[in-house]
Structure 1
């Protein structure tokens, strides 16, 4: 078929004019024999040039027959090695025999292996059955990529144990080409027992009884009594016998324990191994729990009773976990005797208006001993200024906090405006401190007191005078000792002036938060996170659980879990708060082997804070060994929806007759554009050259 560009009227006018001029120019030469050929050549060249102006295109329809390729996919996962029928060697030799029959029928094939990833296969006999997981999604993505290519169909050898990637229900199964599946293995699962998970709170208080809910899974044809044991370290602390029914059943066992030690403790759960069990690595698991103290001892030394004293005692007495020893200095020394103070261990020591002038000399000599007591007992330390507190009396103890007395900017005792700083919000980010974030909070002025220099401490509150900021409340940490210094002598006035206002509990909340921080009642942390097991296999589900240590902690609604391997970030997972259990939870898959570290970030006031860190181990995947049987149901669905056939391994050769060489005829149009054809240009050039030669011979040039 020839197609031409439709010219406009100007073209036809020029064409008609050119033809008339051509005829009139050569009409008188037609009678001469030598000129007829010259006129013919010139006319032909002119016609070709005019034809090119019409941009002619010639479309030629053609047909071509192409051979189609069958794609063969071979499951190389670890589970294929553990079947008795076929054995691993029989599996590979059976596939080789199957492929040889197809080659004899001149079937064109592309052979691939799949497991955790897809690879091309050179020699089937060299194929290693060692992939840690089965991802059938790789197979379907490969077929989708090649749908427009020469594919006759596909044959898949697999046991259908899909433990990574997409499930078959998510595949786009259409009868574009047949997918035949050969199911490998026994339909009865091989025997396996596993400690599936251990449900326990991530943090508890010493003396509380806690339940460890253990989930035991059993596969295969099992009907036995097994022993489930619980160890604390190497000590057996519990044992229970249960009946397991197998066939994918799950049984729960509950142990109740009462932790007696403070800090991180671990419990190990084990189930007895069965005679024919092929994977015993999942028969034990360890869970770690953080144990907090149930009682905290506080010593308060009052150099001279003042209005702050009763308020502090009241705040401490409200918390049942606090035990207070109060030493008051009088004419005859401390009451009760200060000797018991030096003998006991305290989590917090408070200097209330102490030392004073009357005992200044003695306590200067005690400075070195007191410092050793703080360090050895890892006690928190607080100095609260009072009316009798003088720079000279407390300077040596401020030095323990790396604070130095400086020349005052404010006149001592003047009522001065003050406010919380951003460092308060940063240090106690999740402690229910909404009042500290209010810009228009109405805080009564406080009397200025002793002024100190600061270096690396947190300035939690400060006086504001004409743009000059002077520290009021300072906190810091030195060699694991946490400390706080309150410089105003009339702290009590804040308590009374706020009564009846919206901030009536402000001072109490402040000290409750600071007491908890000083004594590390959360074990150095405000949140504890842990995984439901200590080790996983690649492809296994992981549950990360977190819990705040203090009841005042703000409940947040969103966060993320950053996962790292060898210092490199490998993934980010969402974190959510479970309103029912009052715990933070994140679920994700163990995708990479090795030690995986994680950090937990949570958001507050458009700021991001890291509130938890930890790690867990992921072993080279043995998850294949948890389900060693032919899962034929999804495989039959796949073959049925794609107009393919499903065969068990022993009937595999019956598929050979269904796999034949296929060709596909494709029609296509070959287009020739004349003005792009070099032979047209050559023809015009030959015509013009021939005409020029003839003209010379007849003497026209």
Structure 2
């Protein structure tokens, strides 16, 4: 069939015109030509014109035909680590080898083209005898879908496996989407084997120095009687603690708790081990690893209240709900202690990371000026001042506190209702960011109950940063009511608006969300106690220890001088095993929170280190390093029996059949192997043949030669 790639109207008109001119030219010539010569020259030119026109219209010559294809069978061989588990006295891999060495495949090769693939986490071409059974995870679905993509004309797929599946989509659903039937051959026993395993391990990833941490284990027992045994927790090969337990009878799980107490800061790597019992199918799941990140201590907060007020009550309620805080309280009625006493010296006060002063009177602070100043300026600690008119009660003649961001002598109380007036959008400051959505953040601030008063000052420290102010209705000056300032090594935040407790009380009473109160104070404490590290890069993973075969998720953030995340540079993250020099790069993509996320799959067991570098305009501005572990315990260690149900369902939904090790030799007679008729099309670009152009030039040259022989111009 002939097709043209250009419109024919214009070329056809030009062709007719050129042929007409040729006929006209050779109708009468000087000198006159013999009829045969005239006819020959006319035909030579017309034929050359036709060939050139053929090139211009770019015709395609298509040929449709039917081709017969020999049937093709794909044989998928399970290469996962679970194939090393025993079936009787032999590993499952031996059963797979015996199936491959049978005469079934020779018989099938006479009737069809047979291709072999190995699979675990992915699909690869292979040959029998080349398997190493090292895959730490299995995805039947990914293997089948990839097979259909690379070999769409299959007659059937035969899969030899124990039916273990621990990653990827649902294989039954995927099997139902295939264009070919699946014939599954199951290897392994369906009987529950004798096995003792640590099925689950729970522990807090971050703990505090000097405090015991509870590790909870779930021990499963299959095929073994109830018995007494002991397990041990070790670090760097040395036993940290051990405990005797009684393991429940077969088919039950035993929950066990044990306490350990790390003695130093940093990351500690531990291993929990159960004894190897005679007759167990798998010893690999008798030990598990875990890591603890040990921090110096909880954040120690000393809260000093000038009297028992609702402000103190609600703030104490918030502090008590935070498990990461170690709280101490001092309550005084003006100058008389009601609960405990203020630290007697700087050493006692410096044992606390943050001092919160709630409505203290000036008299309560009198005589403690030097301790408070040194606490901030020299010790690098922080103070949160929450003040109301009680602060001005019985003021002493002089109060010399360098760390105050205002002058107490230049203060007057106001009892007008107002809401914060921000110097810049509230979302721009991390303390005022009550929501990560700027519009939602603005809405939350608008809905908050108004303050009932404030301490107005005209003596704010020029170095203080005003976060919010009070703007009188008469258009007077903006009075600062929420201030922060860094003094020496420390920080101070002061609130001169009151009361805050109405945020929690009124919103709760109206049935609205009251998280704004706790979020605000959490932000304030986080800013006060954060280190002044400036810009920097941080790299973490979502766990410190992974099972072999699990996905490792990475998260990175680069912060500028203000502590804000930015994603304008280039981030490169590489991962390598500590015992190897081979590196793998992690593709990191920015998310909506201006952080980078990425992942790696199927790392082999061992200790790993991830290194990150952040660069702006080709210059590295931040580096980070993070360590994690892949334990020997694998997802494959959970595949103790053959999954007949899964393999049967996959075969049935695809139109195939399930076989056991006893009846797989029936496979050749069950396969319907017929030659496939495939309709094909072949096309030639007639215009793109060099011979046509050469022949056209030859015809024109021959015409020119004959014309000269006849003495024509």
The two structures share one fold, judged by TM-score above 0.5: yes
- The answer to whether the Cα contact below 8 Å between 2:427 and 2:433 also exists between their aligned partners in 1 is no
2:412 maps to 413
| Aligned: 1:119 with 2:128 | no
1:642-672 Cα deviation digits (max 9, x unpaired): 4445443465555467789976555545556
CA distance in 2 between counterparts of 1:71 and 1:685 reads 54
| 1:76 paired residue number | 79
For 1:180, the equivalent position in structure 2 comes to 183
- In structure 2, what is the Cα distance between the partners aligned to 1:687 and 1:336? 117
**3-state SS in 1 of match to 2:362:** coil
Cα deviations by residue, 1:575-627 (Å, 9 ceiling, x for unpaired):
9xxxxxxxxxxxx9986676799xxxxxxxxxxxxxxxx99754366111221
Contact in 1 for aligned 2:379/2:490 (Cα 8 Å): no
1:537 aligns to 2:540 (yes or no)? no
Deviations 1:333-379 (A, max 9, x none): x89997996698897574832348xx96x656xx3599579999989
Structure 1 residues 25, 445: closer, same or farther in 2, change over 3 A?
Answer: same
Q: In structure 1, how many angstroms separate the alpha carbons of the residues matched to 2:641 and 2:106? A: 27
CA distance, structure 1, for counterparts of residue 339 and residue 676 of structure 2: 103
Q: What is aligned with 2:325?
A: none
CA-CA distance at 1:14 after TM superposition:
7.2
- Per the alignment, residue 141 of structure 1 pairs with 145
Q: Distance in 1 between matches of 2:375 and 2:18?
A: 115
1:166 aligns to what?
A: 169
Asked if 1:622 is matched to 2:634, the reply is yes
**Counterpart for residue 559 of structure 1:** none
Check the 8 A contact 1:542/1:590 in 2, yes or no. Answer: yes
Query: Which of residues 427, 434, 439 is equivalent to 2:431?
Result: 427
In the alignment, which residue of structure 2 is the partner of 1:353? 361
> 1:335 & 1:189 partners in 2: Cα distance?
67
> For residues 573 and 538 of structure 1, what CA distance do their matches in structure 2 show?
27
Partner deviation per Cα, 1:383-437 (whole Å, 9 max, x = no partner)? 85324436x7332xx33x4x4666x9x9643749775354998437569999981
- 3-state SS in 2 of match to 1:243: coil
Distance 2:168 2:551 in 1: 12
With over 3 angstroms needed to count, the CA separation of the structure-2 counterparts of 1:674 and 1:21, relative to structure 1, is farther
- Decide whether the 8 Å contact of 1:538 with 1:590 is kept in 2: no
Q: How far apart are the structure 1 equivalents of 2:344 and 2:311?
A: 17
Of 442, 448, 452 in structure 1, the residue corresponding to residue 456 of structure 2 is 448
SS in 1 for 2:642: coil
State how far apart, in whole Å, the 2-side matches of 1:335 and 1:18 are: 121
8 Å CA contact 1:190–1:627 kept in 2: the answer is no
3-state SS of paired residue (1:142): helix
Q: Name the counterpart of 1:604.
A: none
Give structure 1 stretches of 5+ with no counterpart. 205-209, 301-307, 525-529, 544-563, 576-587, 598-613
> How far 1:132 sits from its partner (Å)?
0.7
Cα distance between partner residues in 2 of 1:315 and 1:177? 71
CA distance in 2, matches of 1:478, 1:227: 59
**Is residue 438 of structure 1 aligned with residue 446 of structure 2?**
yes
RMSD value over aligned CA atoms?
6.8
Over alpha carbons, which structure has the higher Rg?
A: 1
**Aligned 8 A contact 1:216 1:252 in 2:** yes
Is it true that 1:389 corresponds to 2:392 in the alignment?
no
**In 1, Cα distance between the equivalents of 2:483 and 2:244?**
49
Shift of 1:57: 7.5
| 1:78 CA displacement | 0.9
Summarize the Cα distance change of 1:596–1:190 in structure 2 as closer, same or farther, 3 Å threshold: farther
2:332 aligns to what SS in structure 1? strand
Task: Please give the secondary structure, in 1, of the residue aligned with 2:481.
Answer: strand
TM-fit CA distance, 1:474: 4.0
What's the counterpart of residue 155 of structure 1?
A: 158
Structure 2 regions of 5+ residues with no counterpart?
Answer: 208-212, 321-327, 531-539, 554-572, 576-584, 594-598, 611-625
Partner of 1:132: 136
- Structure 1 length-normalised TM: 0.60
Q: Distance in 2 between matches of 1:676 and 1:58?
A: 11
Cα contact 1:229–1:236 (8 A) shared by 2: yes
Correspondence list, 1:213-362, <5 A? 216-218=219-221, 221-222=223-224, 224-225=226-227, 239=245, 241-245=247-251, 251=253, 253=255, 274-275=277-278, 276-281=280-285, 299=304, 309=307, 311=309, 315=313, 324-326=330-332, 329=335, 350=357, 352-355=360-363
Q: 1:277 to 1:619 in 2, by over 3 A?
A: same
Report deviation, 1:38: 2.7
Cα distance between partner residues in 2 of 1:377 and 1:58: 86
- In structure 2, the CA distance between the partners of 1:368 and 1:377, relative to structure 1 (3 Å rule), is same
User: 3-state SS of the aligned residue for 2:124?
Assistant: strand
Structure 2 CA distance for partners of 1:39 and 1:340, relative to 1, 3 Å? closer
* Other structure's SS at 1:413 match: strand
Q: Secondary structure at the match of 1:125?
A: coil
8 Å CA contact retained: 1:475, 1:484: yes
What is the Cα deviation at residue 77 of structure 1? 0.9
Is the Cα contact below 8 Å between 2:157 and 2:182 reproduced in 1? yes
Secondary structure of 2:74's counterpart equals strand
- DSSP-derived class of the 1:629 partner: coil
How far did residue 177 of structure 1 move? 3.8
8 A Cα contact 2:274 2:286, kept in partner:
no
Does the CA contact (< 8 Å) of 1:187 and 1:631 recur in 2?
yes
Cα distance change on mapping 1:286 and 1:378 into 2, 3 Å: farther
Which secondary structure does the structure 1 equivalent of 2:142 belong to?
helix
- Measured in 1, the distance between the counterparts of 2:147 and 2:492 equals 66
- 1:255-289 CA distance string (max 9 Å, x none): 799x9x9x999999876654314144465576989
Structure 2 counterpart SS, 1:634: helix
Q: Partners in 2 of 1:572 and 1:217 — Cα distance? A: 41
CA deviation vs aligned residue, 1:18-44 (integer Å, no higher than 9, x gap)? 899799869xx9xxxx94643553464
